[in-house]
Amino acid sequence: MEIVILPDASEVGRVAASVVADVVEREPEAVIGFATGSSPLAIYAELARRADAGELDFSRVRGFALDEYVGLDYGHPESYHAVIDRTVTKPLGMDPALVAVPDGMASDITAACAAYEAAIDAAGGIDVQLLGIGANGHIGFNEPTSSLASRTRIKTLTPKTRADNARFFDSPEQVPTHCVTQGLGTILRARRLVLVAQGAGKADAVAAAVEGPVSASCPASVLQLHEFATVVVDEAAAARLTNADYYRYVWQNKPGWKHY
């Protein structure tokens, strides 16, 4: 894995956005995997800035979101349909018809999950998948003990994740109990992975993901199995990394790093 440690959250957003920008510049119909949560918001803001400045064109870019709550109406502002529309599709100037989010309102969730996998395949797979990380090491909504080979499916949220996400709802009870999420096996099929994390609250999860054993106990550790995974963190989120100096040395000496 490539580990990039940067001074602050806005630098994390800028560098991760540059990875996406490179892909879109090369391929105007690129397929981008979008994450929700607060972690990638700086990426989207930076990409929107570049789109507004005419530097990037997202009008033909295709997108797949990682996950969605089950049973939360898409009109609810915290449904991931609404979040992706508000933070990604509109600011980047994407065509809403080209952006897919898992169907958490389907009467047949299993069939909807299979259709989502088929849609990703039909698009030719995901070129670059953006990821945040939960404090318990989840990616997407793949909670600890998720199969490392899992595909898009329904999952039960842990009490920890529901508590973490309660800030987006009027009361903790309103946080849905279930979700639909791309699996860890789905995520591994993307051609490139970029995980971002900011703040001390993510330091343990980042250390477990990067330097711990590959284990379903820390779903993000599955990134160690991917050929092209980049983890971009600020100093606070890097605080528990044992080999931080080495990662800084590698990044500073990377050919072309000043490009970002």
Chain positions contacting ligand GLP, by CB under 6 A: 35-39, 66-67, 132-134, 140-141, 161, 165
For ligand GLP, the closer of residues 161 and 230 by Cβ is 161
Residue 134, token pair as written in the block: 């939960």
Structural Rg of the chain based on CA atoms = 17
Tell me which residues are annotated as active site.
67, 136, 138, 143
Tokens 């609404």 correspond to 82
CA–CA dist 153, 24 (Å, integer): 29
Residue 81 CB, shortest distance to ligand GLP, in Å, is 13
3-state secondary structure 192-210: CEEEEECCHHHHHHHHHHH
Residue 41 CB, shortest distance to ligand GLP, in Å, is 8
For ligand GLP, the closer of residues 63 and 132 by Cβ is 132
Residue 30 CB, shortest distance to ligand GLP, in Å, is 20
For ligand GLP, the closer of residues 56 and 67 by Cβ is 67
Are 11 and 234 in contact, with CB atoms under 8 Å apart? Answer: yes
For ligand GLP, the closer of residues 37 and 63 by Cβ is 37
For ligand GLP, the closer of residues 39 and 152 by Cβ is 39
**Nearest residue (beta carbon) to ligand GLP:** 132
CA–CA dist 213, 210 (Å, integer): 8
CA–CA dist 78, 256 (Å, integer): 39
End-to-end, the C-alpha distance of the chain in Å comes to 18
Residue 205 CB, shortest distance to ligand GLP, in Å, is 9
Residue 36 CB, shortest distance to ligand GLP, in Å, is 5
